[in-house]
Amino acid sequence: MAQLRGKRILVTGGAGFIGFHLCQKLSDFTPNLTIYDNLSSGTLKNVTDLAKVNFVKGDILDLTKLYSQEKADLIFHLAAQVVVPYSMENPIEDFETNARGTLNVLEKARKDDAKLVFASSAAVYGNPNQLPTSEDYGFHPFSCYGLSKVVGEEYCGMYANQYGLDVTVLRFANVYGSRCHGVIHDFLDKISKNPSKLEIIGTGMQTRDFVHVSDVTEALILAASNESANGETYNIGFGKTTAIIDLAKMMLKILNLQDKTVITTTNVSWQGDIDKIWFDITKAKKELKWNPKVSLEDNIKDIIAEGKLTK
């Protein structure tokens, strides 16, 4: 943390779910924090709820605007098209935002001689046959989203090797917490609309590694603060895997709906969906001294009780 004090920080995608939590933390110790976001999936509320940030409504594909931003010392690149099924229907748009957009942001980092932390994804592993999956499993993307993140990562590697840019890649598993989107939010949404039925897309046997956004935020900050993280890639998950059907049952139990809500499954999932996500997080624990603290079981009760997801 102390290493970041006073730095000029640019957060692309800062108006999104993870960006909000990261900027909330960063704004405590730097007055020079700029969010650059086109608000395609992020919200203005995520910006206005933060007292001490500069906000630029801008697209990472708009080179003139991006390069006219004040020189940064550190860039967190979170802006992305994040929806897997959308990437399968709109592969070119997904490529533009996630691959070309990442290249554009790397160029901004090169011009500024800034360190860059890139938000990548479990989707680069596709459907891994090594579980838990470690960083050296390699790229086996199974969706256009996964492939566009691979391209982003490859450019990060190129900029680190050829231009000596300080770059760290973090591969996130399934991030959850207040203001999130994704399966927990979808389930709560469905149950609130119709408590008699909860439909799971897919078989329900697909598993996910849920990591809380506060732990992800800490990993982002550690990656940015540690010189030894330059040129490295880290898995950021909880290191545990949970079947979606078990998540559904856990939520219904907490809501006391286990005898009232019938769980159904579509059996067929969306194109590009992954069967199992389970991260080996040994490297981040050892090298970043990062230890995820919030378990799904401990936190989900609070999330539901406090209605945190919809705040």
| Selected binder of ligand NAD within 23, 26, 33, 78 (CB under 6 A) | 78
Whether 36 is catalytic is no
Catalytic option among 145, 155, 159, 176: 145
Q: What torsion, rounded to 10 degrees, do the Cα atoms 32, 37, 41, 47 define?
A: 30
How many positions of this chain bind ligand NAD (CB under 6 A)?
Answer: 29
Q: Pick the stretch among 57-65, 135-143, 183-191, 288-296 that binds ligand NAD (CB under 6 A).
A: 57-65
- 69 φ/ψ sector (left φ>0, alpha ψ -120 to 50, else beta): beta
The mark string for 5-24 relative to ligand NAD (x by CB under 6 A, - otherwise) is: -------xx-xxxxx-----
Q: How far is the CB of 160 from ligand NAD (least distance, A)?
A: 18
Tokens encoding 100: 């070309």
Q: How far is the CB of 91 from ligand NAD (least distance, A)?
A: 15
Q: What torsion, rounded to 10 degrees, do the Cα atoms 107, 112, 114, 119 define?
A: -30
Question: Of residues 255-284, which lie at the interface with ligand NAD (CB under 6 A)?
Answer: none
Handedness of CA 48, 54, 57, 60 (dihedral sign): negative
Q: How far is the CB of 257 from ligand NAD (least distance, A)?
A: 25
The number of residues making up the chain comes to 311
Q: Cα–Cα distances in Å, from 153 out to 118, 146, 158, 164, 270?
A: 8, 11, 9, 15, 25
- Using alpha carbons only, give the angle 50, 12, 5 rounded to the nearest 5 degrees: 60
> Does residue 121 touch ligand NAD according to CB under 6 A?
yes
> Judged by CB, which is closer to ligand NAD: 257, or 308?
308
Question: Of residues 80-119, which lie at the interface with ligand NAD (CB under 6 A)?
Answer: 80-82, 97, 101, 119
Report the distance separating Cα 230 and Cα 167, nearest Å: 5
Q: How far is the CB of 194 from ligand NAD (least distance, A)?
A: 25
Question: Of residues 167-206, which lie at the interface with ligand NAD (CB under 6 A)?
Answer: 172, 174-175, 182
Q: Pick the stretch among 37-45, 131-139, 225-233, 254-262 that binds ligand NAD (CB under 6 A).
A: 37-45
Report the distance separating Cα 285 and Cα 287, nearest Å: 6
Q: Please check whether residue 172 is in contact with residue 120, taking contact to mean a CB–CB distance below 8 angstroms.
A: yes
Contact footprint for ligand NAD (CB under 6 A) = 12-13, 15-19, 37-42, 59-61, 78-82, 97, 101, 119, 121, 172, 174-175, 182
Residues labelled catalytic: 145
